[in-house]
Chains A and B, each alone.
Chain A
Amino acid sequence: MNIIVCIKQVPDTTEVRIDSKTGTLIREGIPSIINPDDKAGIEAAIQLKEKYNANITVISMGPPQAEIALKEAYAMGVDRVILLTDRAFAGSDTWATSLTLSYAIKKLDYDLIICGRQAIDGDTAQVGPQIAEHLMLPQVSYVSKIEKEDDKLKLKKVFEDGYQIIKVKTPCLITALKEMNNPRYMTVNRIFNVSNTKIVENWSINDIAMDAQLTGLKASPTQVKKIQTKTAKSSGKVHQVEPKEGAKLILEKLQEKFVI
């Protein structure tokens, strides 16, 4: 089985701060990590490899700094890591990103493509499903469990209030939830292998035979008009009292503010 896992390097925080002047993310001083849902995707792929024997390729589109995320993926135990990096890709929205990734994926053999559900910085959850559309593949999102049954995959798709068990033929694409597993750590040996050798393959726009008009900022239908941070409300006051007294207190406060 050939598995491709798409990952994104994101800032290690769920409270992304935004520069109010430029409207861009403040990345300074914030370490970068593999997006948690994507990391669960890597772990899921390695577990499949351990059970059924598979070849895993991890692919990421990003600036040269994203190489470290791919090295981490390699040190966890995947077979091949590819970084799609080119100035032509800069400024891509989810549409241009998913199209670029699908051009790269077309160059590879695959039975299963795993994407994380969504990235903690953009939170769109669009790239995975869009790749499936570009490649005309069946897709199952919000997957929390993967099993193999003959030539099909048996997947558990999770909803807020329940789940579905879905059987799907390969090749297909799934989006993974971070809740599906606890990703393993890197091993020291693989870390030292990574840094002693040129392990990350860098692919440019020429390597994926893509027309420059189809990627990057100008090929992105979504343009960010304005970004603003929420103004923080004044911090509340904590009262630790018995429920009965609490009710009385709330009533008083609401009356004070003429709410009731």
Chain B
Amino acid sequence: MNFELSEAHKLSQQMFRDFALNEVKPIAGLIDEEERFPVENIPKMAKYGILGIPFPVELGGQGADNLCYAMAVEELSRVCGTTGVIVSAHTSLCAAPIYEFGTPAQKEKYLIPLAKGEKLGAFGLTEPNAGTDAAAQQTVAVKKDNHYLINGSKIFITNAGYADIYVIMAMTDKSAGTRGISAFILEKDMPGFSIGKKELKLGIRGSATCELIFENVKVPLDNLLGQEGKGFKIAMQTLDGGRIGIAAQALGISQGAIDETIQYVKERRQFGKPISAFQNTQFQLADMQTKVDAARWLVYHAAFLKGQKKAYSKEAAQAKLFASEVAMEVTTKAVQLFGGYGYTREYPVERMMRDAKITEIYEGTSEVQKMVIAANILK
């Protein structure tokens, strides 16, 4: 048993932290305020390998591991939840399934540019009538000659509009239930594929969350990801991995709120002394950091197991359940410790509190995580 991070992980953490503080933090408040996707940071992240961390070098990646990837999402989210989810959705939900299930030709064509960060990725499963009940897919793909014809729509798609490559689920056999769902790789320029309404959100307001519309989109047979009818399995496995990314995002948001609070309580004076001298402040912060550290070990452990190619579905669900609930609690407490100033947009903790909420909802709500965990321990 060794709880020490390797030298490579420590150096990576230092690099992600420097990058986050210098490149991401200065614009985090602004992109939230303007609800603007931080396009300027995508090439910068690509330059330093942040968009292809866990993939092999020969496939355009950085040859690092899942723990390193989780640490990147954590450090980015520590200053900006939006940037964290951009990297998470790109890596876990688009590049990862192509790496896991793609053919050599698909990896060559799609994974390499994704891992290099030349192209951005997204994933489409959710539909207006297929949220937690993901099996109720209404998007259909009909095989015709040398292509599939896809019709339907997706909602709440992260990176939509800015992504070049999309992994999309659609029904190829309505009578077969979950076994009738297949996964496809779509390119943004395919005729009939368009981006619909952009959602206005409570938090992670810089991230693009839009509807995808498919009107007779002709997708070559070569773009079927995995086998026909295996799409649901691919989606579920992809989400298992995605949960580590979101758990890391929640972890980063919480730690970021603590960072801000520690600085503030040392400066803010009431009754003649800094509020850090009051026991309430100390006890609150002690609770907050303890929970965040506990969340960190759950997240790192789940990432470690995935890297070791061991079963990690339960651990990823636990990490996401706990880290996201801790994020909500810790950011709310941070706002309270800031008092009235915390409620203003002059300080970043209100943004962090708004950003935290989504981590309890997307890529499986907290309730879904409990279903996954229970199913694992009751089997």
A interface residues with partner B (beta carbon < 8 Å) = 68, 71-72, 75, 184-189, 191-196
Q: How distant is B157 from chain A, measured CB to nearest CB, in Å?
A: 27
Q: Can you list 17 A-B contacts with CB-CB less than 8 angstroms, sorted by A residue number?
A: A71-B7, A185-B18, A186-B12, A186-B15, A186-B48, A187-B47, A187-B48, A187-B62, A188-B12, A188-B48, A188-B53, A188-B64, A189-B49, A189-B64, A191-B64, A193-B63, A196-B8
- B343 on the A face (CB < 8 A): no
Please tell me if the beta carbons of A72 and B48 are within 8 angstroms of each other in the complex: no
Q: Which 4 interchain pairs have the tightest Cβ spacing?
A: A195-B8, A188-B62, A188-B49, A189-B62
Known A192-B62, A192-B63, A195-B6; judge A187-B11 contact (CB<8 A). no
Question: Which of B11, B48, B62 sits near A194, CB closer than 8 Å?
Answer: B11
Given contacts A75-B15, A187-B62, A195-B7, 13 further A-B contacts (CB under 8 A): A185-B18, A186-B11, A188-B15, A188-B49, A188-B72, A189-B49, A189-B64, A192-B8, A192-B12, A194-B7, A195-B6, A195-B8, A196-B8
Which residues of B are found within 8 Å of A71, using beta-carbon distances? Answer: 7, 11
Please tell me if the beta carbons of A185 and B11 are within 8 angstroms of each other in the complex: no
Question: Which of A185, A193, A195 sits near B15, CB closer than 8 Å?
Answer: A185
Within 8 A of A (CB), among B1-56: 6-8, 11-12, 14-15, 18-19, 47-50, 53
Total B residues in contact with A, Cβ cutoff 8 Å: 21
Q: How distant is B111 from chain A, measured CB to nearest CB, in Å?
A: 16
Q: How distant is B192 from chain A, measured CB to nearest CB, in Å?
A: 37
Please tell me if the beta carbons of B19 and A185 are within 8 angstroms of each other in the complex: yes
Please tell me if the beta carbons of A191 and B57 are within 8 angstroms of each other in the complex: no
Interface of A is mostly: helix
With both beta carbons as reference points, the residue of chain A lying nearest to B19 in the complex is identified as: A185
- B321 on the A face (CB < 8 A): no
Which residues of B are found within 8 Å of A75, using beta-carbon distances? Answer: 11, 15
Please tell me if the beta carbons of A185 and B8 are within 8 angstroms of each other in the complex: no
- B68 on the A face (CB < 8 A): yes
With both beta carbons as reference points, the residue of chain B lying nearest to A72 in the complex is identified as: B11
Which residues of B are found within 8 Å of A195, using beta-carbon distances? Answer: 6-8, 11
How many Å lie between the Cα of A186 and that of B12 in the bound state?
8
With both beta carbons as reference points, the residue of chain B lying nearest to A186 in the complex is identified as: B15
How many Å lie between the Cα of A71 and that of B6 in the bound state?
13
Q: How distant is B203 from chain A, measured CB to nearest CB, in Å?
A: 28
With both beta carbons as reference points, the residue of chain A lying nearest to B61 in the complex is identified as: A189
Please tell me if the beta carbons of B7 and A68 are within 8 angstroms of each other in the complex: yes
Which residues of A are found within 8 Å of B11, using beta-carbon distances? Answer: 68, 71-72, 75, 186, 191, 194-195
Which residues of B are found within 8 Å of A185, using beta-carbon distances? Answer: 15, 18-19, 48
Q: How distant is B163 from chain A, measured CB to nearest CB, in Å?
A: 21
Which residues of A are found within 8 Å of B6, using beta-carbon distances? Answer: 195
How many Å lie between the Cα of A186 and that of B16 in the bound state?
9
How many Å lie between the Cα of A195 and that of B6 in the bound state?
8
How many Å lie between the Cα of A71 and that of B47 in the bound state?
19
Task: Give the one of B15, B47, B61, B64 with max A CB within 10 A.
Answer: B15
Q: How distant is B71 from chain A, measured CB to nearest CB, in Å?
A: 10
Which residues of B are found within 8 Å of A193, using beta-carbon distances? Answer: 63
Which residues of A are found within 8 Å of B18, using beta-carbon distances? Answer: 185
Which residues of A are found within 8 Å of B19, using beta-carbon distances? Answer: 185
Which residues of A are found within 8 Å of B63, using beta-carbon distances? Answer: 189, 192-193
How many Å lie between the Cα of A184 and that of B47 in the bound state?
10
Which residues of A are found within 8 Å of B50, using beta-carbon distances? Answer: 188
Within 8 A of A (CB), among B42-98: 47-50, 53, 57, 61-64, 68, 72
Q: How distant is B45 from chain A, measured CB to nearest CB, in Å?
A: 10
Q: How distant is B22 from chain A, measured CB to nearest CB, in Å?
A: 8
Which residues of A are found within 8 Å of B48, using beta-carbon distances? Answer: 184-188
Q: How distant is B75 from chain A, measured CB to nearest CB, in Å?
A: 12
Within 8 A of A (CB), among B189-229: none
Q: How distant is A170 from chain B, measured CB to nearest CB, in Å?
A: 30
Q: How distant is A97 from chain B, measured CB to nearest CB, in Å?
A: 26
Q: How distant is A195 from chain B, measured CB to nearest CB, in Å?
A: 4
How many Å lie between the Cα of A184 and that of B18 in the bound state?
10
Please tell me if the beta carbons of A188 and B68 are within 8 angstroms of each other in the complex: yes
How many Å lie between the Cα of A192 and that of B69 in the bound state?
12
With both beta carbons as reference points, the residue of chain A lying nearest to B18 in the complex is identified as: A185
How many Å lie between the Cα of A26 and that of B12 in the bound state?
26
Q: How distant is B283 from chain A, measured CB to nearest CB, in Å?
A: 24
Q: How distant is A165 from chain B, measured CB to nearest CB, in Å?
A: 30
